[in-house]
Amino acid sequence: MIYYSSYCKHLVAVDCIIFGFDQEKINILLHKRKFEPYKGNWSLFGGFLNEKENLDAAAVRILNSLTGFTNIYLEQLFTYGNVDRDSERVISVAYYALIKTDQYSSFEGGEYDAVWFPLEELPELILDHNIMVNKALRRLRRKASSEPIGFELLPDKFSLPRLQRLYEAIYGEDFDKRNFRKKILSMGLLEKLNEKDKTESKKGAFLFRFDKDKYDELIGKGEGFEL
């Protein structure tokens, strides 16, 4: 039985803000739009929702088809629904993604024609995409201090100096090395490995791994991640 046929229907798009970390700063992946209108201008990765497709699934599909990424952290951000935000009336549901860039190293300039831009050097984007990026960044900052999403931007094994540089990049400020270690280790969520990362120093820095099981256990007890 069809009940809602008298109501008007709308185009629904999904746009993805993709964050990556290159050991030094947070970057956003952009590409030049492939279709009209605004063809050739810098844009987030977006597409339209299909007829029998869950919203989250559309985000995964669009991300994969435009970048090749699979199995990445993806979270709904906000829905933009002003009538005049695009040349036609389109509702856009924005998602943001966190990429472990080490898994997609030789990426730039490849088949996907995507370019990483540092946060401070973003070009002008089409439509309201700059606004979306801003909101995504605020969300990333908030979430990174209350949930362990930062690890989604790092390889599975990482050194503490690298983790610290990540958080410094996210918040745009420097932290004290000793205080940072103390706090992050005191949560008991990092497993220290018997390996070192020697790419950044001669001495080498011990590698750690985020312990998801222990995190789930803490969540069960009403505790969790707090930086």
Partner DNA sequence: TCAAAAGTGTTAGTGTTACACCCATGA
Partner DNA sequence: TCATGGGTGTAACACTAACACTTTTGA
Name the residue among 105, 133, 138, 141 with its Cα closest to residue 42.
133
Exposure class string for 115-139: b at 16+ Cβ within 10 A, else e: bbeeeeebeebbbbbeebbebbbeb
Among 159, 184, 210, 215, binds DNA (CB under 7 A): 159
Among 39, 89, 183, 212, binds DNA (CB under 7 A): 183
Among 5, 71, 105, 179, binds DNA (CB under 7 A): 179
Q: Which is nearer to DNA, 31 or 196 (CB)?
A: 196
Q: Which is nearer to DNA, 6 or 186 (CB)?
A: 186
79 sits near a copy of itself (criterion: CB under 8 A): yes
Among 205, 210, 215, 225, binds DNA (CB under 7 A): 205
177 sits near DNA (criterion: CB under 7 A): yes
- AA identity, residue 192: K
Pair 114, 67: CB distance under 8 Å: yes
The dihedral sign for the CA sequence 108, 116, 95, 87: negative
d(CA 19, CA 137) in angstroms, rounded, equals 9
| Interface with a copy of itself in residues 27-46 (CB under 8 A) | 35-37
Residue with the two structure tokens 């050739």: 40
Quick one: tokens of 28? 């956003």
- AA identity, residue 135: K
Please report how close the Cβ of residue 204 comes to a copy of itself at its closest, in angstroms: 39
Please report how close the Cβ of residue 78 comes to a copy of itself at its closest, in angstroms: 7
Among 56, 168, 195, 200, binds DNA (CB under 7 A): 200
Which spans of this chain sit near a copy of itself (rule: CB under 8 A)?
Answer: 1-4, 7-12, 35-37, 48-56, 58, 76, 78-83, 87-91, 93
